[in-house]
Amino acid sequence: MTPGINRLKTWVLIAALGGLFVLIGAWIGGPTGAIWALGIGLAFNFAMYWYSDRIAIATTRSRPVTEEQYPQLYRIVRELADERHMPLPKIYVSEMQQPNAFATGRNPEHASVAVTQGILQILDERELRGVLAHELSHVTNRDILISSIAAAIGMSITFLARFALFFGGDDNRGGGGLGILFAWILAPIAAAIIQMAVSRSREYQADESGAYLSRDPDALASALRKLESASKQVPPPRSVSPAEAHMFIVNPMAALKGNGGFGNLFSTHPPTAQRIQRLEVIAQELRGGSPIGGAPTRPDQEPFPG
């Protein structure tokens, strides 16, 4: 799937969320309640968008590090940032032992990237470069904004559904018992499914953008295999909530969840096997065109020094 198709898919999902919101607003019987609900949702998520970096850093207990402490980490991030023509993000290291990483910030000028102690212990330099390229792509792709839009509409749908439960809908528009059941139960579930689909779409997009940025999709695929295995064995710290799972390159709550089936509809991340399969297609494309460069190719590198 090309980056253009991925972007189109994301905005189609956003439009679907908006359409569901309008339908529920119409069912309630008037635009006033819908406008108020949307306003509340936008205000809340605007605050989350504006302060998301501070919240993420605080909940993961990440600390700023200097170039003297982590010279290779700084070198990798600086090279990738220069490649994307963006300022050097603030760099943090979390004491979390679960291998993971995330980036946040409302735009490239206010970006932060964080890695955990766990990820520094199991990835080699190639793999870490692939992970950081993925994370910086989230920033340059404006995924914080997109996630905030999806969250605002999703929360407003839930608010409208609860409003309909307590105040009822317009009987002429299909109110009554079945209508209230739909508004109270099915509409929030549908909104959550679409919202999670947006999150998965952005992960695919960051994988693709990161693979082209690092020019080493095989390294990112290798990193995802290691991270997937580790995430199921090492539980996340209590300070990280399920609402923050979408920030990370792999779901930090994987150890607490089941695998596959219907639950995938509510997953913030695509199945790792599918992510790897897409990266393998990109790797084949790059090998068939221009050679992959910009990253070491030795398979026997030592784990990244922390």
Tell me the pLDDT band of 18, cut-offs 50, 70 and 90. Answer: low
| Residue-by-residue DSSP string for 105-148 | -SSGGG-EEEEEHHHHHH-BHHHHHHHHHHHHHHHHTTHHHHHH
Name, of 25-29, 165-169, 228-232, 235-239, the range with top average pLDDT.
Answer: 228-232
Question: In the Cβ-directed half-sphere of 176, how many Cα atoms lie within 13 Å?
Answer: 5
State how far the Cα of 39 lies from the Cα of 41, in Å rounded to an integer.
5
Instruction: Just list the catalytic residues.
Output: 135
Tell me the pLDDT band of 4, cut-offs 50, 70 and 90. Answer: low
- Choose among 64, 26, 55, 50: nearest CA to 243: 55
- What end-to-end distance do the CA atoms of the chain give, in Å? 36
| 24: pLDDT strictly greater than 90 | no
pLDDT at residue 303, as a whole number: 47
- Choose among 82, 69, 116: nearest CA to 223: 116
Do you know the residue count of the chain? 306
Of residues 182 and 95, more confidently modeled: 95
Contact 112, 242 (CB under 8 A): no
What average pLDDT does this structure show over 230-256? 80
Report pLDDT digits (tens) over 193-214. Answer: 877 888 898 899 999 999 999 9
State how far the Cα of 14 lies from the Cα of 20, in Å rounded to an integer.
10
- Choose among 16, 21, 57: nearest CA to 36: 21
pLDDT at residue 88, as a whole number: 96
Tell me the pLDDT band of 89, cut-offs 50, 70 and 90. Answer: very high
State how far the Cα of 267 lies from the Cα of 67, in Å rounded to an integer.
36
pLDDT at residue 54, as a whole number: 80
Lowest mean pLDDT of 113-117, 143-147, 157-161, 199-203, name the range: 157-161
Sheet containing 62-64: order of strands? 62-64, 90-94, 112-116, 101-104
Report pLDDT digits (tens) over 111-135. Answer: 999 999 999 999 999 999 999 999 9
Q: Which residues contact 83 (CB under 8 A, 6 or more apart)?
A: 213, 294
Supply the pTM of this predicted model.
0.76
Q: Which residues contact 303 (CB under 8 A, 6 or more apart)?
A: 120, 121, 122, 123, 124
For the chain, give the percent of residues with pLDDT over 70. Answer: 62
Q: Does the CA dihedral 168-173-174-179 come out positive or negative?
A: negative
